Amino acid sequence: MKDLGGVAPKADTSVKNRGMGVFELLGKGAAGFALVLLIVYLSLATPSFLDLNNFLNIARQSSINAILAVGQTLVIIAAGIDLSIGSVMALAGCVMAVAVVKYGVPLFAAVLLALLTGVAAGFLNGYVISRGRVPDFIVTLGGLSAYKGLALIVTDGLPIAGIPAAIVWLGSGDILGIPVAAVGAAIVAVIGWFLLTHTTFGRAVLAMGGNQEAARVSGINLVRTKILVYCFAGLCAGIASIFMVGRLNSANALMGTGLELSAIAAVVIGGTNLFGGQGGIGGTILGVLTMGVLANGLDLLNISAFWQQVVLGVVIVAVVVFDQWRRRRWGM
């Protein structure tokens, strides 16, 4: 195979891969390409787009999708899929809100409860998938319904109001002019990136998704890895729930509806292979931002919310088609 972008000279056995070629940069994902195109176009098309406040707004609006998508990225790289994270997020948020508002649980403990709820739901998903040998899709499809049902039970189907100010600040406040939720999303993204690239767990996830048989022969504990990766997705859903409840200034059982699909869309736009083994957090964040910029731009262009759905759908497919073409063309 040809060396593309002239990365490494012939006899170089060094590991560091300094200086990316143009193609390789492009290879970082069709999402980056689409994002740049979108930004350039919107800057020219609407005067109000290129504005710091607008960008902060996009960051705020994208943060919950980003947090969910980070968890989803790891699951998909491990050759799984988590359809339940929207419901898990709703359940975790409702548990927290009910604990604080109805039972007077201290705020700190309630937040912890939200995170625990997320992890527990993720653990259950992972456990049934790996121990029961049930396909990921089926188990989390069941979870999608069951966790939402539990959230309805916890809240009696009513919105929970009277959320403490601290939570509201997390969801809609700023810190040094930057939305707190966006800071939270950035921290989660860094954690996800670190887990994937710098830990043995990340290696196990990549290996399992890339070739389950090879991972098994190489002594990777598949059951443990699967359970842990779903626990992480659940934890992300728990974290997202706190920001969500804060932003809505209330909690309700249906607040996560459809978010699992947005997260999957962001992961796919970001170039992560839906069949596992390949992908990364960087791409996912680009995917999240592409979706955020698109929604924002279409708003500014006064395009109806109905058409926005259509455009988003077209963009998802177009980005993946471009990605496939690029891989075939340049073999990356």
Partner 1 sequence: MSPPLVELRNVSKRFFGTHAVNGVSLTIDEGTVHVLLGENGAGKSTLMKILAGVVKPDAGEILIKGQKVEMENPWDALRLGIGMVYQELTLVPTLSVAENICLGDLPCKGPGHVVNWQLVRERALAALGRLGVDINPDAKVGNLDLGQQQLVEIARAISRHARLIILDEPTSALTSNAREKLFAVIRALKKEGVAFIYISHHLDEVPMIGDVVSVLRDGKLVATKAVAEVDDQMLIRMMVGRTLEEQYPQEQARPGEEALRVEGLAAGHRVKDVTFAVCYGEVLGLAGLMGAGRTEVLETIFGMRRLDRGRIWVNGREIGAWSPQEAIRAGLALVTEDRKNSLVLQNSIKFNLTLASLGLHSRMGLMNGSKEARSAVDLVKGLRIEPPHVTRAVRTLSGGNQQKVVLGKWLCSRARIFLLDDPTRGIDVGAKVEVYRLINELKRGGAAVVIASSDMGELMGICDRIAVMRSGRVVNEYNAREVSQEDILAAAMGGTVA
Stretch 241-280: interaction string toward partner 1, x if CB under 8 A: ------------------------------------xx--
Handedness of CA 320, 323, 329, 332 (dihedral sign): negative
Tell whether residue 199 is a contact of partner 1 (CB under 8 A). Answer: yes
- Kindly identify the residues of this chain, within the stretch 215-244, that bind partner 1 according to CB under 8 A: 215-221
User: Measuring CA to CA, how many Å separate 167 from each of 67, 114, 118, 126, 247?
Assistant: 17, 12, 17, 29, 8
Cα end-to-end span (Å), the chain = 11
Tell whether residue 5 is a contact of partner 1 (CB under 8 A). Answer: no
Q: Alpha-carbon distance 263 to 241, whole Å?
A: 14
CB of 37 to partner 1, least distance (A): 28
User: Measuring CA to CA, how many Å separate 122 from each of 110, 113, 159, 210, 307?
Assistant: 18, 14, 24, 22, 34
Stretch 159-198: interaction string toward partner 1, x if CB under 8 A: ---------------------------------------x
Interface with partner 1 (CB under 8 A), residue total: 32
Stretch 117-156: interaction string toward partner 1, x if CB under 8 A: ----------------------------------------
> Which CB atom, from 12 or from 156, has the smaller least distance to partner 1?
12
Tell whether residue 206 is a contact of partner 1 (CB under 8 A). Answer: yes
Q: Which range in 71-79, 107-115, 199-207, 241-249 contacts partner 1 by CB under 8 A?
A: 199-207
3-state secondary structure of 134: coil
Tokens of 232: 């992480």
CB of 177 to partner 1, least distance (A): 34
Q: Alpha-carbon distance 218 to 207, whole Å?
A: 9
Q: Are strands 178-179 and 174-175 parallel, antiparallel or unpaired?
A: antiparallel
CB of 70 to partner 1, least distance (A): 19
**HSE, side-chain direction, 13 A CA sphere, residue 263:** 32
> Which CB atom, from 211 or from 249, has the smaller least distance to partner 1?
211
Tell whether residue 328 is a contact of partner 1 (CB under 8 A). Answer: no
Stretch 8-27: interaction string toward partner 1, x if CB under 8 A: x-xxxxxx-x----------
Tokens 């009277």 identify what position? Answer: 162
Q: Are 155 and 98 contacting, i.e. CB atoms less than 8 angstroms apart?
A: yes
Q: 160: which DSSP letter? A: B
Site of interaction with partner 1 (CB under 8 A): 1, 7-8, 10-15, 17, 198-204, 206-207, 210-211, 213-221, 277-278
